[in-house]
Structure 1
Amino acid sequence: MPYGCQFRGVDIYIPSERGLRLNIFGMIDRNHKHEGFTTAENMTPDKVADFLDRMSLRISKRTFVFLDNTSVHRCRFVREFRPIWEKRRMFLFFLPLYSPHLNIAETLYRILKGKWLRPMDYFP
């Protein structure tokens, strides 16, 4: 709405509702191939570790995975798997704090959420 009107001393508000969420975990390689998963549930360390573990079994060459500093990426569960993944030649690195500009997946997700997804896409 480009304009509005309100009486002095009367608050105008739009009540918020707790809507459905769509959580995305994914990775993009240098050839712009995306691999990941989505869930309407909370993103948990076991979901992230399971995805990374399955990926580590499929890779055929040394692979470097860059993660942001989300708590599910730095949890005990992921730390325990890290030596196993390194034996499989998958190495984890963490981006500096507050640097979404270094994560190309963040750019893709910002465009996806802002331009491609409509509110009705979140409903089953």
Structure 2
Amino acid sequence: MPYGWQFRGEDVCIPSERGLRLNIFGMIDRRNRYEGFTTTENMTADKVADFLDRMSLRISRRTFVVLDNASVHRCRLMRELRPVWEKRGAVPFLSPPYSPHLNIAETLWRILKGKWLRPVDYLYTDTLLYATNRALAAIGSGLKISFTHAA
């Protein structure tokens, strides 16, 4: 939880469910165009590769896809598909280790967790999934990020 407060002497407890893991793979550009998916399953290279493959068929101009150093981004499958995506105009770019400042999607994740999700959204698995998907779907229309540093 990004923040909280309580009265002096008061104990505040938020029940949690063990075992849920919400994974998000998403991309955003400086015009607040978001595309991605959420899953409670493990994030696999097959899921990421399928997403990038479908995305690479829809783009109309050369597009750099910034990836962090997650193992699913560096695996054999991703290396094998890279030439196919590059021919279509989608160029995967692995950012250097420990450099989240180079990936504007990291700003999205920070704002999603720190501003758009409320503490009450974390109470139950269903509310967290709903609130996350609601916020991600509103990017570009109801919710916007001001990226102040142009690349």
- TM-score with structure 2 length normalisation? 0.67
RMSD between superposed Cα atoms in Å = 2.3
For 2:63, the equivalent position in structure 1 comes to 63
Three-state SS of the structure 2 residue aligned to 1:56 is helix
Mapped partners of 2:61, 2:105: distance in 1: 22
For 2:139, the equivalent position in structure 1 comes to none
Query: Could you tell me whether the CA contact under 8 Å between 1:20 and 1:122 is conserved in 2?
Result: no
Three-state SS of the structure 2 residue aligned to 1:77 is helix
For 1:40, the equivalent position in structure 2 comes to 40
For 1:28, the equivalent position in structure 2 comes to 28
Aligned-partner residue type, residue 71 of structure 2: S
For 2:128, the equivalent position in structure 1 comes to 122
- CA shift, 1:74, in A, is 0.7
Q: Please say if 1:99 is aligned against 2:107.
A: no
Q: Deviations over 1:68-89 (max 9, x none)?
A: 1111111111111001111112
- TM-score with structure 1 length normalisation? 0.81
- CA shift, 1:3, in A, is 5.9
Aligned-partner residue type, residue 95 of structure 1: S
- CA shift, 1:46, in A, is 0.3
Q: Identity across aligned pairs (percent)?
A: 73
Three-state SS of the structure 2 residue aligned to 1:73 is helix
Query: Could you tell me whether the CA contact under 8 Å between 1:20 and 1:123 is conserved in 2?
Result: no
- CA shift, 1:52, in A, is 0.2
Structure with more of its chain in helix, by fraction: 2
Mapped partners of 1:123, 1:63: distance in 2: 29
Higher mean alpha-carbon deviation, 18-27 vs 31-40, is at 18-27
- Distance of aligned partners of 1:123 and 1:78 in 2 relative to their CA distance in 1, 3 Å threshold: closer
Query: Could you tell me whether the CA contact under 8 Å between 1:23 and 1:39 is conserved in 2?
Result: yes
Mapped partners of 1:35, 1:123: distance in 2: 17
Please list every run of 5 or more consecutive structure 2 residues that lacks an aligned counterpart in the other structure: 1-5, 10-15, 131-151
Higher mean alpha-carbon deviation, 42-51 vs 113-122, is at 113-122
Higher mean alpha-carbon deviation, 24-33 vs 112-121, is at 112-121
- Distance of aligned partners of 1:2 and 1:26 in 2 relative to their CA distance in 1, 3 Å threshold: same
Structure 1 segments (4+ residues) deviating >3 Å: 1-4
Please list every run of 5 or more consecutive structure 1 residues that lacks an aligned counterpart in the other structure: 5-15
